[in-house]
């Protein structure tokens, strides 16, 4: 049953079909406000949230002071603390009993308790004690506060001792490389970028493929000369475009709003991002082959992809401090490798010669997911 060959030839017909399909996908995306919002609203919201709100740094922490001594020395120390940008002295208390109550009211995060005759003890006995009490309901913050307060006290002590030479001294010279100011946004940007690319690519594709199944249009597409791979590629291409746009938006936001440096090559960053986008799309296709409804696809994407990305990729919790079994599991999470690559390019500014191993792993995973989903994609309903 040879049909009349159309004027534009075989390859032209193929491309025309393909373009028609992609056009239809764009209609779907742009007419569905919700998916548009997820596509473009979420990346911006997330990056701003993580950048501004969720941070490990401390700034202007409220503290209270209980000064039993009230002498020159304590005043000097208090002034030093008040002058730092990390703390602001919220109130002065006078009784031990007040310590518990200020914590309970949640007014302050820490209380500094100077012993009686602090200044005199320091001069007479060369030894005086100060108690630092912190609210450890948030252990990380409590730790940071203690460290900062200690640092200020030591600084003061050094000033007092500047005329005295101590016989043996170890002076540690610490230097934090790649992120000297310890800005947490440097840590979050690669993570957020990973989450968003994963979510947009995997969740949106799996939802859009299962929607065809759910609404019965897949039945018609199957009973048409479109080949399965044409359907899949047609579904995927619009999301590749959109994900690339998202990646660009995220990088721009982090450069211009958070002054995040991109030390390495932008081209390499782009290529690696495209690779990860394709990995995620392949995962999305795989999810769509095992789920019958949009809801299932969404649940699998959220639970199966989001959680591991957040918990096990090293985005928030360092992999090296995880128990061994989790460290092993983290290796099969594509996001882990992408975050390593991103950090390496953006913060360390390294080239391909240092990240070829991670790239190869990601590439291998992509090929595996694509092969699996092609194998699982059904050309019939059963």
Residue ranges binding another protein (CB under 8 A)? 1, 3, 6, 13, 16-17, 19-21, 23-24, 27-28, 31-32, 215-217, 219-226, 379-382
Task: Provide the minimum distance between the beta carbon of 25 and another protein in the complex, in angstroms, as a whole number.
Answer: 10
Complex with another protein: residue 26 or 368, whichever CB lies closer? 26
Indicate the residue among 158 and 375 with the shorter CB distance to another protein.
375
Residues 6+ apart with CB under 8 A from 355: 272, 340, 341, 344, 345
Cα separation, 127 vs 115, whole angstroms: 11
Residue 234 C-beta: closest distance to another protein, Å: 9
The smaller minimum CB distance to another protein, of residues 19 and 332, is found at 19
CB of 284 to another protein, least distance (A): 20
Residue whose structure tokens are 């391909």: 352
The distance of closest approach from Cβ of residue 374 to another protein in the complex, given in angstroms and rounded to an integer, is: 17
Q: Which one, 164 or 223, has the nearer CB to another protein?
A: 223
- Residue 373: CB atoms within 10 Å: 21
CB 346 within 8 A of CB 264: yes
CB-nearer residue toward another protein: 13 or 153: 13
* Smallest gap from residue 13 Cβ to another protein (A): 5
Query: What backbone phi and psi angles, to 5 degrees, belong to 132?
Result: -110, 115
Instruction: Specify the residue, 1 or 83, whose C-beta has the smaller distance to another protein.
Output: 1
Longest CA span, the chain = 109
Q: State the minimum distance, in angstroms, from the CB of residue 222 to another protein.
A: 6
The three-class DSSP label of residue 330 is: helix
End-to-end CA distance of the chain: 28
For the bound state, the minimum distance from the C-beta of residue 263 to another protein, rounded and expressed in Å, comes to 44
Q: Closer CB to another protein, residue 17 or residue 90?
A: 17
- 130 SS3 class: strand
**Helices in the chain by DSSP H: which ranges?**
9-31, 33-36, 42-48, 72-83, 97-104, 118-124, 139-160, 184-198, 204-215, 217-222, 228-256, 266-290, 294-301, 307-312, 324-330, 334-343, 352-376
């Amino acid at each position: 049953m040879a049909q009349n060959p159309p004027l534009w030839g075989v390859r032209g017909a193929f491309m025309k079909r393909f373009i028609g399909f992609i056009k239809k996908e764009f209609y779907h995306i742009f007419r569905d406000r919700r998916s548009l919002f997820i596509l473009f609203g979420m990346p911006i919201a997330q990056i701003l949230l993580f950048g501004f709100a969720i941070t490990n740094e401390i700034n202007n922490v409220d503290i209270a002071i209980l000064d039993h001594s009230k002498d020159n020395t304590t005043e000097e120390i208090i002034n030093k603390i008040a002058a730092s940008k990390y703390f602001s002295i919220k109130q002065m208390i006078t009784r031990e009993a007040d310590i518990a109550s200020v914590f309970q009211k949640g007014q302050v995060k820490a209380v500094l308790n100077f012993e009686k005759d602090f200044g005199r003890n320091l001069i007479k006995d060369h030894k005086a004690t100060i108690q630092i009490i912190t609210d450890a309901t948030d252990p990380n913050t409590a730790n940071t506060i203690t460290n900062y307060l200690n640092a200020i006290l030591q600084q003061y002590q050094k000033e007092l001792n500047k005329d005295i030479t101590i016989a043996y001294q170890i002076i540690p010279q610490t230097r934090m490389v790649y992120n000297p100011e310890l800005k947490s946004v440097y840590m979050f940007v690669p993570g957020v970028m990973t989450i968003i690319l994963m979510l947009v690519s995997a969740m949106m594709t799996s939802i859009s493929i299962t929607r065809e199944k759910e609404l019965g249009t897949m039945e018609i597409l199957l009973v048409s000369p479109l080949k399965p791979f044409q359907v899949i590629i047609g579904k995927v291409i619009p999301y590749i475009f959109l994900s690339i746009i998202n990646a660009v938006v995220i990088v721009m936001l982090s450069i211009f709003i958070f002054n995040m440096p991109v030390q390495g090559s932008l081209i390499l960053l782009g290529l690696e991002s495209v690779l990860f986008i394709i990995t995620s799309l392949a995962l999305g296709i795989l999810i769509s082959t095992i789920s019958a409804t949009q809801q299932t696809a969404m649940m699998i994407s959220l639970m199966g992809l989001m959680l591991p990305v957040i918990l096990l990729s090293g985005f928030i919790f360092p992999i090296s401090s995880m128990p061994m079994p989790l460290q092993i599991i983290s290796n099969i999470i594509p996001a882990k490798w992408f975050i390593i690559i991103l950090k390496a390019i953006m913060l360390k500014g390294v080239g391909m010669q240092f990240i070829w191993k991670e790239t190869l792993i990601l590439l291998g995973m992509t090929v595996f997911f694509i092969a699996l989903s092609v194998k699982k994609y059904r050309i019939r309903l059963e």
